[in-house]
Structure 1
Amino acid sequence: MVSVRPTIAAVAAAAGVSRQTVSNALNAPERVKPDTLAKVLGHIDVLGYRPSVAARQMRTGRSQLLAMRIEPVRDGVNGVVGDRFLHALAEAAQAAGYRMLLCTAGSDVDEVAEYEQLLATMALDGVVLATTHTGDTRRAWLRDHGLAFMSFGRPWGDLAVAGASDSSWVDVDGAAGTAAATAELLRRGHRRIAYLGWPAGSDVGHDRRAGWLTTMAAAGRTDEAVEVTSEDDIEEALDVVEDLLRQRPTAIVCASDTLAVAASAVLNRRGLRPGPDVSVVGFDDTPAARALGIASVLQPLDQVAEACIAGLVAQLDGRPLPAEGVLLPPLLVPRTTLADPAP
């Protein structure tokens, strides 16, 4: 026996309301009284009603599809951060009735070409930009082509000034994260706090460095602010940390967990204990940091994803975005590598 798929009319009849009320309960619940909404949703659940995506697309003219470029995995430590964000983004999109399309591209120009293709062939509704950087031309292209977009990352450089009214972004305050780590180390009595960062050219790296440097300056410790850089690569960072330890820091704040893993490895190799002998703090709170007991700064990726999708849905619904982008605070997660300085 072939089962009959429940219809919106069946839900309306069971709940004793109009079909428009059922539609509002699904698409604009704020228009429905709370007791009526609860009754309608209860009947939807009992009957197993599922709205027709095809019908919704015909009615709204939307494909319910959002696209994002995925970055290549460069290492096995911080690569999981992108995976966590993508999973959170897919969940948030699905809860809002959208689906994510993933694409790869070797450059911003290639990425824009992918969006142009998806816009022409699949009536793409919007885009999530997963990275931002100085000189980024993608925002202007998306705006010129009428595509809704949100970015994980704020506008940088000249775009930060020219796009002061651009609020289509969500970011995590990296400077606040490294500042919190540095402040906690200072509170514990550390004075010679080193920073292991990325080479010049990374906007995110510059932001994280600024949190460490301004906190050291506020404490009057700039003379003891030791700084070295490495690519986000464990093998390269091992040699850099060896050189850094010759300057005898009591603590190392790192731009990433990749660098923190390298710092901890060198300390262990030298017979020093990460934490009791030299404190180490990473950034991103990856599974590797948790497994090794490395203190780290946690990015609220679930909140970032939810805010990105909420911003896209608001644009698609014709609702204005807030006057400013969303800058979320990170959380310092203390572990055994964050300790008082050795006596």
Structure 2
Amino acid sequence: MRQPTVEDVARLAGVSRQTVSNVLNSPAVVRAGTRERVENAIVQLGYAPSMAARRLRTRRSDTIAVHLDPYSGGISGVVLDRFVHALTDRATPRGLGILVYAATDAQEELERLRALRDGGEIDRVVLTGTVEGDPRTDWLREVGLPFVSFGRPWGAERTVADHAWVDVDGAAGTRAATAFARGLGRRVAFLGWPRGSGTGDDRERGWREAMGEDAAEDLRRTSLDTVQAARAETELLFATTTVDAVVCASDTLAVGAHLAASHAGRSEVTVVGFDNTPVAAALGLSSVEQRPEQVAEAVLDLLVSGAEPGGSLIEPELVVRAGVI
């Protein structure tokens, strides 16, 4: 059976061969509607660019390295799994490969990236798990290896970003969750992580913005990101203050809060999580959906187009489930 060609894709999408090439290699220059038609044609025909031919022509590997976090169980890790899956799925029509690597700490990750680069196995990188003062970004800039991070450069919000990044607007998510709970006439507490986590502080900010003057300190609680610790902290919250709803920084914390409410016979308490995991769906908990597929699309657009330093935020979506009301 004959393999589909670029010409077949162009014919089905009703565009020129050059437009198909632009979608594969420089998607940012193609209008969204046209790009969508071409991508749909690629999927419909099962077209796969010849990566080997491209490598010979350009002397590039056209392979993106992305770190796979060590498996730690739990609930919320599924978000990064979805991101890596979406990155792989969306890279293929663009003629790009994904190389997943593992490392236990930043130093080991740098050594792994250095070996992959020196061996010609990768020519681009997607960073995950960004932290303030991230040593990986300095090294990548130093060696001139193009990269985009899933996660903003924490600690640099008031300065010009020194690399391209995409992140989820965590504050917008918890702001929407808090407004939803307050709309039900609820006194809303926030269960987050200890201060100092960029992601956690950002999510707490959304709660504070939605609460305004009602963001009392007795309503702000912190916990390690485990179900057991979250349950214990929520039980203490119920024992010491009046609360009708709990907005959480993760679905792991939300499950703990949900168990505490069930144990206390407080079925009327609204619990809202963050990550929209299958566990939250199974328990009927409302949760903030991070849309990692949109993050992956935006990351690839920046990587392929060679965007200037700067960032973009993906707006999350509050998924409301009747089980929490």
- Return the TM-score normalized by structure 1: 0.80
State whether structure 2 residue 308 is matched by structure 1 residue 310: no
What's the CA shift for 1:187?
A: 2.1
Aligned residue in 1 for 2:180 = 184
Query: Which of 250, 257, 279 is the equivalent residue of 1:256?
Result: 250
Whichever residue aligns with residue 157 of structure 2, its letter is A
Give runs of aligned pairs for residues 154-193 of structure 1, distance below 5 A: 154-157=152-155, 159-162=156-159, 164-166=160-162, 168-190=164-186, 192-193=187-188
State whether structure 2 residue 279 is matched by structure 1 residue 282: no
The 1:167–1:115 alpha-carbon spacing in structure 2 relative to 1, beyond 3 Å, is closer
The 1:60–1:26 alpha-carbon spacing in structure 2 relative to 1, beyond 3 Å, is farther
Aligned residue in 2 for 1:325 = 311
Give runs of aligned pairs for residues 92-131 of structure 1, distance below 5 A: 92-131=90-129
The 1:337–1:73 alpha-carbon spacing in structure 2 relative to 1, beyond 3 Å, is farther
Aligned residue in 2 for 1:206 = 201
What's the CA shift for 1:137?
A: 1.8
Contact preservation (8 Å) 2:254, 2:272: yes
Whichever residue aligns with residue 197 of structure 1, its letter is G
Contact preservation (8 Å) 1:238, 1:266: yes
Give runs of aligned pairs for residues 21-36 of structure 1, distance below 5 A: 24=18, 26-28=20-22
Aligned residue in 1 for 2:191 = 196
Give 3-state SS (helix, strand or coil) of 2:274's partner: coil
Whichever residue aligns with residue 257 of structure 1, its letter is D
Q: For residues 100 and 214 of structure 2, what CA distance do their matches in structure 1 show?
A: 46
Give 3-state SS (helix, strand or coil) of 2:66's partner: strand
Contact preservation (8 Å) 2:284, 2:324: no
Q: For residues 274 and 283 of structure 2, what CA distance do their matches in structure 1 show?
A: 14
Give 3-state SS (helix, strand or coil) of 2:71's partner: coil
What's the CA shift for 1:62?
A: 1.2
Aligned residue in 2 for 1:334 = 320
Contact preservation (8 Å) 1:179, 1:214: yes
The 1:212–1:61 alpha-carbon spacing in structure 2 relative to 1, beyond 3 Å, is same
Q: For residues 156 and 280 of structure 1, what CA distance do their matches in structure 2 show?
A: 28
What's the CA shift for 1:122?
A: 2.7
Q: For residues 117 and 216 of structure 2, what CA distance do their matches in structure 1 show?
A: 54
Give 3-state SS (helix, strand or coil) of 2:225's partner: coil
Deviations 1:44-98 (A, max 9, x none): x98x986432221121121011101111233331121121111111111112111
Give 3-state SS (helix, strand or coil) of 1:325's partner: strand
The 1:294–1:50 alpha-carbon spacing in structure 2 relative to 1, beyond 3 Å, is closer
Whichever residue aligns with residue 169 of structure 2, its letter is D
Contact preservation (8 Å) 1:193, 1:225: no
Q: For residues 114 and 199 of structure 1, what CA distance do their matches in structure 2 show?
A: 31
Give 3-state SS (helix, strand or coil) of 1:56's partner: helix
The 1:267–1:117 alpha-carbon spacing in structure 2 relative to 1, beyond 3 Å, is same
How many residues are aligned here? 304
Query: Who wins on radius of gyration, i.e. which is larger?
Result: 1
Aligned residue in 2 for 1:81 = 79
What's the CA shift for 1:250?
A: 0.8
Q: For residues 178 and 196 of structure 1, what CA distance do their matches in structure 2 show?
A: 11
State whether structure 2 residue 285 is matched by structure 1 residue 294: yes
Give 3-state SS (helix, strand or coil) of 2:288's partner: strand
Query: Which of 144, 148, 151 is the equivalent residue of 2:149?
Result: 151
Aligned residue in 2 for 1:231 = 224
The 1:251–1:76 alpha-carbon spacing in structure 2 relative to 1, beyond 3 Å, is same
Query: Which of 240, 263, 270 is the equivalent residue of 2:233?
Result: 240
What's the CA shift for 1:294?
A: 0.1
What's the CA shift for 1:248?
A: 2.7
Deviations 1:129-168 (A, max 9, x none): 11111111211211111111111111111x3344x14351
- Return the TM-score normalized by structure 2: 0.85
Contact preservation (8 Å) 2:50, 2:95: no
Q: For residues 47 and 321 of structure 2, what CA distance do their matches in structure 1 show?
A: 48
Q: For residues 222 and 299 of structure 1, what CA distance do their matches in structure 2 show?
A: 24
The 1:242–1:55 alpha-carbon spacing in structure 2 relative to 1, beyond 3 Å, is same
Mean Cα deviation higher: 285-294 or 233-242: 233-242
